[in-house]
Amino acid sequence: MKKKQKYPIIVSTLFVITAFMCLGWADSWEGLKTAAGTVTSVRAGFTQEKHMKILTRPLVSVGILLFQGPDSLRWEYKHPIQSILLLHNGETRRFVKKSGRMVEDASANLQSMQVMVQEITQWLNGRFDDNPAFTARLEPGRKIVMEPREESFARLIQRIEILLSDRPAVIKSVMIFESEDSFTELVFKDVILNQKLDDALFRKVQ
Amino acid sequence: MKPIFLLLTVLGLCLSCSSLPQVYPAGDSAEPQSGRTCGGPYPDGDWQLLHSIEATLPGGKKGFLMGLTIISPSNRTAQCVIMTLEGFVIFDALYDQKITVKRAVAPFDSEVFANGLIEDINLIFFKPSGSITTSGFLKSGAAVCRYQKPDGRLVDIISLGKHNWEIRQYLPDNRLARTVKRMYLADPKGIADKIELKAHGTPGYALIMDLVEAVPLTK
């Protein structure tokens, strides 16, 4: 009987402690950097929806993301087109599956792609306000809104909205607004932090 | 090294200068088959098509992109969106007798690129405008139907059998300008599973378009 009474108290106490641990991690840039500072690696699944006014239904892609601090990234699409984007030591490479084998893609060096990939690694390092090309503000509800400073850049990306998880150092979703008619939504799931990842994952297709 | 380059250039020019293939008239019994060829492999109704595109650029480098095309063959209108594989839009244009570019990111921001792309879409998805000048068979035995477009350029529609088609467009001086190969598994609606486009001449390029998704927009 005593055991039964103790159980809700333990659960409540754990809940309060967890709530206090999470409270405020996304209230300031410093809080974000501190939380990200505890992260050495990220493994997550993602679903990407491309919305455009002309589309009868959004284009849906699924894949996995691997990140290893400070700046190694593996951005892998499993469906509908299999491709892998690797960022390691400042070099971006992309491979696409064609006729059963992975072929290297020369267009990975597109300036727009380089900008986006490097921006993502900055976010995973908790540095949302470091890029001088964007203004960044924290909004209630663990939301970060980034807008380009230059009009020429705003023609490519109007706004980025990042929704942070209640779990410290975890990004829940990203919305990239390219124009009034077009935006991309990325939703992350099954996020695992600080798992040991083989270095080769960021250098080779495997 | 230079003589080899020169030789290859001359060889390339000679190949692209190849003359217009002769069309042999169909006998009475073969007339229906060559006549059917004139209908070509074009889609029925309006469609939203998503392709993965492999582009081979001058120098042999390969680039991969996604192409979203909304076509209305009856109105000869199209909207074309080119995206990176991550979904970032790098080109968006509407074609309705004239081209309206809504978005173009370097290196896709030139007028030459926009005009060339719309011309390729016309060749791939729309039956040639103009009149049929002749139909029959090529030396290889493949059924062919030859159109002359209003600007004088000739287009051959060639049935290779087993759901495979080839479209060839010639310049006014009869040099081969474009070849489009369309391969079908068994789609009766005219939606090809694979399309290969080759732009001949200098600088040439090639596109291999694999169908990812086809959504009918007309009921």
Minimum distance, in Å, between the CA of residue A16 and any CA atom of chain B? 40
Q: Please list the residues that pair with A105 across neighbouring strands.
A: A94
List the Cα angle B112/B114/B118 in 5-degree steps. Answer: 120
Report pLDDT for A57. 86
Q: Which of A50, A96, A111 sits opposite B64 (nearest CB)?
A: A96
Collect all residues of chain B within an 8 Å Cβ-Cβ radius of residue A46: none
* Parts of chain A with a pLDDT under 70: 1-23, 107-115
Chain centre to alpha carbon of residue B4: 31
Per-residue model confidence as pLDDT tens digits over B9-19: 444 444 444 57
How many structural domains does chain A have? 1
Report pLDDT for A106. 76
According to DSSP, the β-strands at A72-79 and A41-52 are unpaired
CA distance B70 to B73: 10
CB B178 within 8 A of CB B200: yes
Token duo for residue A2: 């005593």
The complex's ipTM works out to 0.76
Collect all residues of chain B within an 8 Å Cβ-Cβ radius of residue A96: 52, 54, 64, 85
Domain ranges of chain B: 20-216
| E strands present in B27-85 | 47-56, 62-72, 77-83
Per-residue model confidence as pLDDT tens digits over B60-102: 788 899 999 999 999 999 999 999 888 889 899 999 989 999 9
User: Could you check whether the bond before residue B203 is cis, i.e. omega within 30 degrees of 0?
Assistant: yes
Does A116 contact B at CB distance below 8 Å? yes
Contacts A–B by Cβ distance under 8 A: 88
Using only the alpha carbons of chain A, give its radius of gyration. Answer: 19
Task: With H, G, I as helix, E, B as strand and everything else as coil, classify residue A50.
Answer: strand
B175-196: average pLDDT: 85
Q: How far is CA B124 from CA B97, B128, B205, in A?
A: 16, 10, 15
* B87–A50 CB contact, under 8 Å: yes
Q: Name the one residue in this structure whose structure tokens are 């083989």.
A: A198
Phi, psi of A71 (to 5 degrees): -150, 40
Consecutive H or E run containing B214: strand B205-216
Domain spanning B20-216, CATH architecture:
Clam (2.50)
CB atoms within 10 A of CB A80: 14
Does B105 contact A at CB distance below 8 Å? yes
Torsion-angle region of residue A89: left (phi > 0), alpha (psi -120 to 50) or beta?
A: left
Domain that holds residue A77: 25-202
CB A171 within 8 A of CB A179: no
CB A82 within 8 A of CB B66: no
A9 falls within a domain = no
Residues 6+ apart with CB under 8 A from A11: none
> What CATH code is carried by the domain that includes residue A37?
2.50.20.10
A117 falls within a domain = yes
Q: Which of A52, A111, A184 sits opposite B81 (nearest CB)?
A: A52
Share of chain B above pLDDT 90, in %: 49
Report pLDDT for A138. 92
**Residues, chain A:** 206
Report pLDDT for A12. 52
A14 falls within a domain = no
Give which of B51, B54, B64 to mutate to test A binding, by max A Cβ within 10 Å.
B64
Per-residue model confidence as pLDDT tens digits over A163-172: 999 999 899 9
CA distance B196 to B184: 12
Q: Which of B57, B85, B90 sits opposite A96 (nearest CB)?
A: B85
CB A61 within 8 A of CB A80: yes
Mean pLDDT of chain B: 85
A150 falls within a domain = yes
CB B117 within 8 A of CB B103: no
CB B148 within 8 A of CB B164: no
Report pLDDT for A98. 85
Using only the alpha carbons of chain B, give its radius of gyration. Answer: 18
